[in-house]
Amino acid sequence: MGASATEPVTAESLRERVDGFLAGHDTAQDRLEFLRARFDAGLAWVHYPAGLGGLGAPRVLQPVVDQRFAAAGAPDNSPRRIGIGLGMAAPTILRHGTAEQRARFLRPLWTAEEVWCQLFSEPGAGSDLAGVATRAVRDGDGWLVDGQKVWTSMAHQARWGILLARTDPAAPKHAGLTYFLCDMHAPGVEVRPLRQATGEAEFNEVFLSGVRLDDGLRLGAVGEGWAVARTTLMNERVAIGGAALPREGGMIGVLARTWRTRPELRTPALHDEVLRLWVRAEALRLTGIRLRQQLAAGEPGPEGSAMKLAFAALTQQISGTEVELLGAEGLRHDHWRADRPEELDLTGRGPTYRWLRAKGNSIEGGTSEVLRNIVAERVLGLPAEPRTDTGVAWKDLPR
């Protein structure tokens, strides 16, 4: 470890660094050049190591930098568009990657030159991710990959994918996996849009047929894929988006406004339901504020899981109540076009869209059922269920 020769980074010193950077770089210059320069100055993600876009600073200081750049009107790296890269691929590469891999991938990832996608879920392996069947077989100095992935957002735009594949079917399920960085431009990668109940195709199916990957694209050791994937998943769950909303800032605001402005729609028996939802929404909002205060004070807790669970249930119920409040009007849909939205707007489009889309909130990013298991075992310390699938060769498991 050794004591660093440099001063410890503080909010004040960061502000100075940003101001210095801005003095030397015109925010109106070429977007990509600006972002590359910001990365090279260690002002991309300040908690990353020097040389990889950061300064080894505390993570909680990142907002200081982001706010300073935003206030100066600097171009950003479309953080929502590259969310998978930022939130999942990057921390995994940082932790498990070789020096070459870090140097090759992190910069274009952060500057949004290269979009990433996640090739984990399969038709037969959803909640049970460690059951993936996509095979990767040694082929000289590389690997041949065959299989099918699903629920892959951004696959149609992605340059790279983080890929979990089975390299040893005779090993127990968790032991036979290896983690790869998949070249989405490689021959044999086919991306097909996957349409949802909303009519949209936010996600894709990805078919991998004899896809050849160089061994340099393996992340972590052969057979260590599960441990690497856990880094990815842990980071998926940590992410808490954006700033705290004001009161009625989310979906509840839409319902409350409809209730207020359309008295002719009100039904007496629905009044208490609206009040109950308002209470729950405000309780959840305050929970988010408290969680952010804890994170800012360097006291991370497991409350993010509570927020995801509560958020999924609440958005489903608020939007469902809104549709019923609207009556016949609530049964009108805007369109069933198979759009390919890149950003999810939970209060966008109409009530029926919101209601349908919210159904996905308890499935994507870990189902609410899996999340409840995790809360019960890791937060509350309740015992695991007896497992029948962990000591057996993967190929011999019933499926």
Partner 1 sequence: MTLDLRYTEEQEALRDSVRAMLTDHAGWARVLQVAASPEPDDADLWRLLSVDTGLAALAVPEHLGGAGASLAETAVVLEELGRAVAPVPYLGTTVAAQLLLHLGEDELLRDLAGGAIIAPAMPCDVGPAGPGARLPDVEVSTAADGSPLLNGTVCGVADASRARVLVMPAGGALFAVDADAAGLRRTPVVSLDETRPLCDLAMWNAPARLLAAGERAASALDAALVAGAALLASEQLGLAQWCLDTTVAHLRTRYQFGRPVGSFQALKHRLADLWVELVQARAVARHAVAAVAAGDPDARLAAALAQAHCGPLAVRAAEECVQMHGGIGFTWEHPAHLYLKRAKSAAIAYGTAAHHRTALATLADLAPA
Binding residues for a copy of itself restricted to 340-399, rule: CB under 8 A: 385-386, 388
Applying CB under 8 A, among 30, 139, 334, 345 the residue interacting with partner 1 is 334
d(CA 122, CA 307): 26
CB of residue 127 to partner 1, shortest distance in Å: 5
Name the packing angle between helices 268-296 and 251-261 (round to 10°).
150
Query: Contacts with partner 1 in 123-162 (CB under 8 A)?
Result: 123-128, 131, 150-151
Applying CB under 8 A, among 196, 207, 233, 240 the residue interacting with partner 1 is 196
CB of residue 215 to partner 1, shortest distance in Å: 31
Question: Is residue 355 involved in binding partner 1 (CB under 8 A)?
Answer: yes
Q: Catalytic positions, please? A: 236
Which one, 100 or 272, has the nearer CB to a copy of itself?
272
- Please give the structure tokens belonging to residue 313: 């249930």
Spatial CB neighbours of 82, under 8 Å, sequence gap ≥ 6: 109, 110, 112, 115, 116
Residue 18 contacts residue 99 (beta carbons within 8 Å): no
Query: Contacts with a copy of itself in 260-299 (CB under 8 A)?
Result: 268-273, 275
d(CA 50, CA 143): 33
d(CA 242, CA 240): 7
Question: Is residue 194 involved in binding partner 1 (CB under 8 A)?
Answer: yes
Query: What is the contact mask toward partner 1 in residues 66 to 105, using x (rule: CB under 8 A)?
Result: ----------------------------------------
CB of residue 383 to a copy of itself, shortest distance in Å: 11
d(CA 46, CA 52): 9
Applying CB under 8 A, among 52, 163, 219, 256 the residue interacting with partner 1 is 256
d(CA 204, CA 152): 5
Among a copy of itself, partner 1, none, residue 289 binds (CB under 5-8 Å by kind):
partner 1
Question: Is residue 7 involved in binding partner 1 (CB under 8 A)?
Answer: no
d(CA 91, CA 162): 12
d(CA 146, CA 189): 9
Q: Report which DSSP code applies to 375.
A: I
Per CB under 8 A, residues contacting a copy of itself are: 268-273, 275, 385-386, 388
